[in-house]
Amino acid sequence: MTAPALPPRTPPTKRDWSWRSRHVRGLIYQVLALGLVALGLWFLAHNTLTNMRVRGIQSGFDFLTSPAGFDIGESIIPYQSNDPYWMAFLVGVMNTLRVAIVGIVLTTILGTLLGIGRFSHNALVRGLCYAYVELFRNVPILLQLLMWYLFLIEALPTAGEPVAFLGLFYLGAGGLSYPVPVWGLGQGLAAAGALIGVVLAYLWARAARLHFEQTGRPRPVLLPSVAMVIGGALAGWFFGGAPTDWNIPKAGGFSMEGGSSLTPEFIAVLMGLTLYTASYVAEVVRAGIASVPRGQGEAASALGLSKGQQMRLVSLPQALRVIIPPITNQYLNLTKNSSLAVAIGYPDVVSIANTAINQTGRAVECISIIMLVYLTTSLGTSALMNWYNKRAAIKER
């Protein structure tokens, strides 16, 4: 018995490298476009450097290694006035990231709650959420920053006579003071245990989601996750000797002594950015939930799911594909709006750059650093959200 004849193999098509090829023309056009962009950038840089040289203006980034010569009122890393300029810029970048990261987390929580509240059966809750959105998103962010800053330094008591909470927390014109643990082995192991708890909570949440997709029966996620994180921290603290030493703040004559504190500038910036951006996030969440077909909720009710379970397990997962792209824009806006903190004296990267310009005259270099910082943070945020968007996308079976 003879084997069936195989179909003849088609020879591979050779790419036509002539001008008549659409691929070749497109490639040439792209190369020409990139060349024109590079030529334009080179012309701008060369023209700027030539004009600066003619006018006797110094240029270059060599000033970054010189002593800065100015103090910074708020820093999360050690800094002194005799440190170089690059160290001062690093402090400004860290302060900017501090506001941006904490603000994004708080904005997400508050905006999501407000967006869900717009669907509440309670008319008062719906009305309050609607009033919040309309109030905060229609007042310019700069005015809100100034309003919160003036409230903190004018309406609150002086730094020498702050309002005390439980004898541990103090709020006044000097900011919010709070106790901090005296760092040692126990605290380090507690932090490591909490980190392990976060990893275990992530694995549990993933397993619970897979179980729900396979069986349709939900498992508790929030309480077990919190228990894992707290349990890991307590286990590390216990094996580290269970230290109980705390640095507790005390009210002095003119300022707080001991503990740690959040300055009025940081609190005002954080509150202003969070409350302003949360109003936009709330509308994004509301629109995303409204885009889910009503039949999904009816089907969830038929399965016996409560209203909270319907929102958490049915509506929100499907709304994420609509929510994530616009909410990414709000995260970017929050990060870029943090540059307005210079208006109330918060030492972010813009404030540090302005001081450096006044002392060195390197305006082009300092502005380039600001642009690079915000470009890097924005691209990093976009990349992270694009990765999450792919994971949250609904997979067709």
Pick from 166, 171, 168, 160: which is nearest to 264 by CA? Answer: 171
Task: For residues 343 and 363, give the distance between their C-alpha atoms in angstroms, rounded to a whole number.
Answer: 19
Same-domain status, 276 and 360: yes
In a domain, 367, yes or no: yes
Same-domain status, 382 and 268: yes
Same-domain status, 320 and 196: no
Same-domain status, 305 and 388: yes
User: At which of 211, 244, 277 does a domain end?
Assistant: 244
In a domain, 352, yes or no: yes
Query: End-to-end distance of the chain based on CA atoms, in angstroms?
Result: 43
pLDDT for the residue numbered 44: 81
Same-domain status, 311 and 374: yes
In a domain, 164, yes or no: no
Beta strands 256-257; 260-262: pairing state:
unpaired
Tokens in use for 169? 């927390």
Helix (H, G, I), strand (E, B) or coil at 249: coil
CATH code, domain carrying 264: 1.10.3720.10
Same-domain status, 209 and 296: no
Range of the domain at 226: 183-244
Beta strands 250-251; 256-257: pairing state:
antiparallel
In a domain, 177, yes or no: no
| 177 phi-psi bin (left φ>0, alpha ψ -120 to 50, beta other) | beta
Q: How many domains does the chain have?
A: 2
In a domain, 65, yes or no: no
Task: For residues 279 and 118, give the distance between their C-alpha atoms in angstroms, rounded to a whole number.
Answer: 12
Same-domain status, 269 and 343: yes
pTM, entire model: 0.79
Same-domain status, 145 and 230: no
| Whether the Cβ atoms of residue 205 and residue 225 lie closer than 8 Å to each other | yes
Task: For residues 286 and 326, give the distance between their C-alpha atoms in angstroms, rounded to a whole number.
Answer: 12
Task: For residues 353 and 345, give the distance between their C-alpha atoms in angstroms, rounded to a whole number.
Answer: 13
pLDDT for the residue numbered 127: 92
pLDDT for the residue numbered 253: 64
Same-domain status, 144 and 273: yes
Pick from 355, 351, 354: which is nearest to 342 by CA? Answer: 351
In a domain, 376, yes or no: yes
pLDDT for the residue numbered 102: 93
Beta bridge partners of 250: 257
Per-residue pLDDT of the chain (397 residues; tens, 9 = 90+): 555 555 555 555 555 667 677 778 888 889 999 999 999 888 887 787 777 677 766 677 888 888 888 888 888 888 888 889 899 999 999 999 999 999 999 999 999 999 988 888 889 999 999 999 999 999 999 999 999 998 888 888 876 677 777 777 888 777 888 787 777 777 888 888 899 999 999 898 888 888 887 887 778 888 888 899 999 888 888 888 777 777 777 776 666 777 778 888 899 999 999 999 999 999 999 988 888 877 777 777 777 777 777 777 777 777 788 888 899 999 999 999 999 988 888 988 999 999 998 888 888 888 999 999 999 999 999 999 888 888 776 665 5
In a domain, 63, yes or no: no
pLDDT for the residue numbered 373: 93
- Residue 96 CB neighbour total at 10 angstroms: 26
* Interacting residues of 104 by C-beta distance below 8 A, sequence separation 6+: 331, 334, 335
Same-domain status, 321 and 388: yes
Same-domain status, 102 and 240: no
